[in-house]
């Protein structure tokens, strides 16, 4: 009976020091768990204080966690998920809190009476029950909130891409969606489109994008994977895609301003992806815009490029000389070195090309027509 009174007295004494203990435990958690740095201190301390209060009162009354304490733990779980505090960090924080509460009880027990320590050991099972049930409640609520938020993010991303692709025409909704995803509607956007990425890899790409300094989101849309970003480099977008699926091919649009610009960048990226699939390599619209645009109207220029395509198939060594001329800054001697032939051989082949196609590669029009025909003629 004396031991029970002493334990109860110990718990009453601890209940009177909840505020100070809350300060200590909150500081210890923030020192040991870096993920808690993003959580506002006042919110964190308030939750810790309520947790201590519930535990001390519950153990003192020798009762398991009541519904109110469990609901508080669930609320904490939801709030931590909303603040993007990882679940392992949340559980670790609960470990620290219960460790500190137990250490405080042991310390105070020794101060009260040496025999009280052994009596306090009898409370371990009840204290552990509190920890187990509340940590389970916080974990369940955190996971539930995370699933809801992920589903919401998924829906927002898909809807935003739909507005950019023109399947949804509602400027107000588009602006609202952009802001909900963290974009600045009037800022600069860049869009990339990837093929060969399974839908199951999209969240992995989003995780990679979350590590960049900018704002970026990935969505699966009608068999293609669309990445929309602000303040992200071309290399960061490609890195995120290939981290999720190394064999994927991508097309990247121009950096354009505003939501109308984002829609145009999506068009750029879609057309660039078409050329990427033809070439078997990633294509950036800014680097290959001429061929990308012309490949989209291939049916309209087939007759124009036919002479060059036919000549290239029949005389590949002549086509090779035309390519070398273009790659060598229009220098016959440099082309000869590139091909490892005599300059006169290059000159003869270029003249022969002109007789076959009518295109003089020494003029802008003739060289442009020649190179376009060689690029598109291979399709």
Q: What is the pLDDT of residue 113?
A: 66
Separation between Cα atoms, residue 55 and residue 262, nearest integer Å: 53
In CATH terms, is domain 297-376 a member of 1.20.870.10?
Answer: no
Q: Is the pLDDT of residue 379 over 60?
A: no
Query: Lowest-confidence range among 6-20, 202-216, 349-363?
Result: 6-20
Residue 1 pLDDT level (bands cut at 50, 70, 90): very low
For the chain, give every residue range classified as CATH 1.10.490.
Answer: 2-149
In CATH terms, is domain 2-149 a member of 1.10.357?
Answer: no
**199: closest CA among 160, 164, 165, 248?**
248
Q: What is the CATH number of domain 188-295?
A: 3.30.70.270
Q: Is the pLDDT of residue 105 over 90?
A: no
Q: Is the pLDDT of residue 297 over 80?
A: yes
For the chain, give every residue range classified as CATH 1.10.10.2840.
Answer: 297-376
Residue in this structure with the two tokens 């598109």, named with its chain if needed: 376
Give 270's contacts (C-beta < 8 A, 6+ positions apart).
193, 224, 251
Residue 4 pLDDT level (bands cut at 50, 70, 90): very low
pTM for the predicted model, two decimal places: 0.70
Give 68's contacts (C-beta < 8 A, 6+ positions apart).
54
Mean pLDDT of the chain: 91
Separation between Cα atoms, residue 141 and residue 77, nearest integer Å: 5
* 274-294 pLDDT per residue, tens: 999 999 999 999 999 999 999
Q: What is the pLDDT of residue 244?
A: 80
Q: Is the pLDDT of residue 2 over 50?
A: no
227-257 b/e (C-beta count within 10 Å ≥ 16 → b):
bbbbebebebbbbbbbebbeebbbbbbbbbe
* 121-159 pLDDT per residue, tens: 767 788 888 999 999 999 999 999 999 998 999 999 999
Read out DSSP for 104-117?
HHHHHHHHH-TTHH
pLDDT above 90: percentage of residues in the chain: 74
Residue 378 pLDDT level (bands cut at 50, 70, 90): low
């Amino acid at each position: 009976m004396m031991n029970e009174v002493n334990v109860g007295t110990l718990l009453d004494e601890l209940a009177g020091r909840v505020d100070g203990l809350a300060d200590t435990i909150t500081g210890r958690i923030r020192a040991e768990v870096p993920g808690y740095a993003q959580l506002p201190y006042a919110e964190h301390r308030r939750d810790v204080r309520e947790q201590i209060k519930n535990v001390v009162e519950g153990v003192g009354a020798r009762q398991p966690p009541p519904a109110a304490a469990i609901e508080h733990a669930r609320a904490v779980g939801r709030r931590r998920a909303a603040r993007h505090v990882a679940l392992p960090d949340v559980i670790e924080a609960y470990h620290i809190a219960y460790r500190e509460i137990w250490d405080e009880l042991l310390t105070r027990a020794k101060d009260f009476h040496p025999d009280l320590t052994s009596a306090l050991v009898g409370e371990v099972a009840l204290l552990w029950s509190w920890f187990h049930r509340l940590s389970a409640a916080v974990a369940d609520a955190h996971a539930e909130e995370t699933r809801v938020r992920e589903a919401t993010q998924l829906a927002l991303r898909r809807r935003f891409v739909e507005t950019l692709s023109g399947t949804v025409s509602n400027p107000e909704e588009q602006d609202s969606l952009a802001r909900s995803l963290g974009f600045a509607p009037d800022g600069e956007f860049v869009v990339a489109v990837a093929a060969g990425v399974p839908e199951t890899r999209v969240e992995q790409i989003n995780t990679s994008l979350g590590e960049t300094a900018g704002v970026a989101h990935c969505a699966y849309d009608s068999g293609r994977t669309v990445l929309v970003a602000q303040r992200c480099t071309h290399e960061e977008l490609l890195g995120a895609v290939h981290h999720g699926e190394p064999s994927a091919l991508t097309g990247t649009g121009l950096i354009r301003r505003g939501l109308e610009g984002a829609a145009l960048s999506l068009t750029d990226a879609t057309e660039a992806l078409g050329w990427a699939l033809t070439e078997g390599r990633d294509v950036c619209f800014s680097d290959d815009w001429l061929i990308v645009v012309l490949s989209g109207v291939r049916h309209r220029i087939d007759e124009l490029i036919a002479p060059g395509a036919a000549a290239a198939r029949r005389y590949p060594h002549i086509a090779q000389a035309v390519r070398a001329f273009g790659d060598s800054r229009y220098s016959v001697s440099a082309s000869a070195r590139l091909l490892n032939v005599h300059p006169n051989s290059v000159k003869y082949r270029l003249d022969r090309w002109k007789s076959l196609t009518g295109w003089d590669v020494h003029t802008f029009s003739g060289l442009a027509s020649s190179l376009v025909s060689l690029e598109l003629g291979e399709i």
